[in-house]
């Protein structure tokens, strides 16, 4: 793989490490706020987050693809997309405020929701501006801005959690840090990458938005899919049960960042290869799936063996009822990681309708499962439904890529050898004598990696990439 790809993976990984500060802040929030208040914050965040997806409507991904193919159209696309998002955001926020005041009766939840709605809209702009940087291969600038924003959020949020009361103050911190992050993105892109000149061109927007609409619908559907558990738990079981689900769900979401790192780097390259080198495109897709399977298998084994211990360590005794939830969600990580790579591949082909239909399939499966299980099983039912629905989506996604002529052979992604390695890691974990579970996890991880090496899961090209990542040639 080219040296630039190795560098971009390093930059993207650094961005994800910065996202770890957000995860750490939410872990502190769960411990300090308790299950009920953290549930109130999580419910407000879930409702407000839908604004992020409603104001995206597929524009970011389509912009990356178009700019990656032809960078001469970048200035035109950037100015018009930003102008359109400003207009859509004003309409969306006004509608949200009216609906929230009409239907939300809990004053604390409503106040948190209003602040988080502002943060959600700013996050939508951040995602758009980040997509422009990715399209220009400027992962270095993206990394610096994300690190700044996350340090700011953590630095403001932690004192607020210790000295302020309730979830509203934390919601205000999210809004302030997002505002400063958005301003920084805009300033750096304007001065270092491409002049920002918002211009509302109705003809361009109509054509561009129509092309992006299938993917935009998929983004909205998948966004609702991601928040559905929390919304239905809040409706059927109340904030305490939302807290018991949301705390381990944050760990699950944090682990998915691994997939975002790889997919954000390979998406522009896949889009570029789709029109000139299909064989190289398929090779990159297969490698992406293999990397996701390697990471996911280890996470699943760790979740099965040490889910309860991890819950107790991170969230304390008050979240002991969430240990089964974490185990189930960690089991779903490998499925979700592979879904992300398959969706990235479909988007690079321009198969936006397929992504939309698959997202709708997942939403329907999850809605049916949640309605059946949440009223009686609560958070455990939501986690079980997540595992089932993501298995359904993955089967559909792999079938869709095969339909477009890109059939995946399990041998090419080393599925059997990865499964054998995972089984070896699990066996080692069950046979270990009693010791600190952190030490046990380390031993299990090393046994898993040793088995991967013994079975030659990685080829010479992948070892060359690893060497590049670990030497100055792949460093920033």
Digit-coded pLDDT (tens) for 448-460: 989 988 888 877 6
More confident of the two residues 272 and 224: 224
Rounded distance, CA 144 to CA 70, Å? 26
Q: Tell whether the model's pLDDT for residue 17 goes beyond 70.
A: no
Given pLDDT bands bounded at 50, 70 and 90, which one contains residue 388? very high
Q: How crowded is residue 127: how many other Cβ atoms within 10 Å of its Cβ? A: 18
More confident of the two residues 469 and 271: 271
What percentage of residues in the chain have a pLDDT greater than 70? 84
Q: What is the pLDDT of residue 373?
A: 93
Given pLDDT bands bounded at 50, 70 and 90, which one contains residue 367? very high
The residue assigned the tokens 């809605």 is 367
What pTM was computed for the model? 0.73
Q: Tell whether the model's pLDDT for residue 387 goes beyond 60.
A: yes
Tokens of 236: 């059927």
Q: What is the pLDDT of residue 395?
A: 92
Tokens of 399: 């079938």
Lowest model confidence (mean pLDDT) among 349-353, 428-432, 450-454: 349-353
Q: Give the residue ranges of DSSP H helices in 136-277.
A: 139-163, 167-188, 202-236, 239-255, 257-273
Q: What is the pLDDT of residue 127?
A: 77
Given pLDDT bands bounded at 50, 70 and 90, which one contains residue 94? confident
Rounded distance, CA 298 to CA 442, Å? 11
CA distances from 308 to 27, 298, 319, 426, 454 (A): 16, 16, 10, 16, 31
How confident is the prediction for the chain on average, in pLDDT?
Answer: 79
């Amino acid at each position: 793989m080219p040296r630039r790809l190795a560098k971009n993976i390093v930059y993207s990984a650094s961005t994800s490490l910065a996202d770890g500060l957000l995860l750490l802040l939410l872990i502190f929030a769960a411990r300090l706020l308790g299950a009920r208040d953290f549930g109130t914050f999580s419910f407000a965040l879930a409702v407000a987050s839908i604004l992020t997806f409603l104001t995206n409507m597929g524009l970011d991904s389509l912009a990356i693809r178009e700019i990656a193919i032809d960078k001469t159209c970048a200035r035109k696309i950037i100015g018009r997309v930003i102008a359109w998002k400003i207009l859509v955001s004003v309409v969306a926020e006004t509608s949200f405020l009216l609906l929230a005041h009409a239907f939300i009766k809990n004053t604390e939840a409503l106040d948190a929701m209003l602040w988080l709605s502002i943060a959600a809209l700013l996050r939508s702009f951040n995602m758009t501006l980040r997509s422009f940087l990715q399209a220009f291969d400027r992962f270095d600038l993206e990394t610096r801005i994300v690190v700044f924003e996350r340090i700011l959020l953590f630095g403001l949020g932690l004192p607020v959690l210790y000295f302020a009361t309730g979830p509203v103050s934390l919601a205000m911190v999210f809004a302030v840090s997002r505002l400063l992050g958005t301003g920084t993105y805009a300033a750096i892109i304007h001065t270092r990458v491409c002049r920002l000149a918002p211009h509302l061109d109705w003809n361009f927007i109509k054509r561009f938005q129509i092309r992006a609409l299938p993917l935009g619908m998929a983004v909205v559907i998948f966004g609702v899919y991601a928040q559905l558990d929390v919304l239905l738990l809040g409706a059927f079981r109340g904030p305490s049960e939302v807290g018991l689900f949301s705390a381990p769900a944050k760990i699950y979401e944090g682990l998915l960042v691994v997939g975002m790192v790889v997919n954000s780097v390979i998406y522009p390259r896949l889009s570029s290869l789709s029109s000139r080198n299909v064989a190289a495109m398929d090779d990159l897709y297969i490698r992406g799936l293999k990397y996701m399977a390697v990471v996911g298998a280890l996470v699943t084994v760790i979740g099965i063996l040490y889910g309860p211990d991890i819950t107790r360590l991170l969230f304390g005794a008050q979240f002991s009822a969430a240990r089964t939830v974490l185990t189930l969600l960690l089991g779903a990580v490998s499925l979700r990681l592979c879904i992300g790579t398959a969706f990235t591949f479909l988007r690079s082909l321009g198969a936006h309708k397929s992504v939309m239909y698959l997202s709708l399939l997942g939403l329907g499966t999850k809605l049916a499962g949640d309605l059946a299980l949440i009223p009686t099983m609560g958070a455990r039912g939501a986690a079980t439904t997540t595992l089932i629905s993501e298995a359904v989506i993955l089967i559909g996604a792999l079938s869709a890529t095969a339909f477009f002529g890109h059939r995946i052979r399990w041998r090419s992604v080393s599925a059997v050898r990865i499964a054998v390695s995972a089984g070896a890691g699990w066996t080692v974990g069950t046979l270990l004598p009693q010791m600190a579970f952190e030490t046990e996890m380390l031993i299990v991880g090393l046994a898993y990696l040793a088995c991967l090496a013994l079975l030659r899961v990685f080829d010479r090209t992948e070892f060359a990439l690893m060497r590049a990542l670990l030497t100055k040639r792949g460093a920033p």
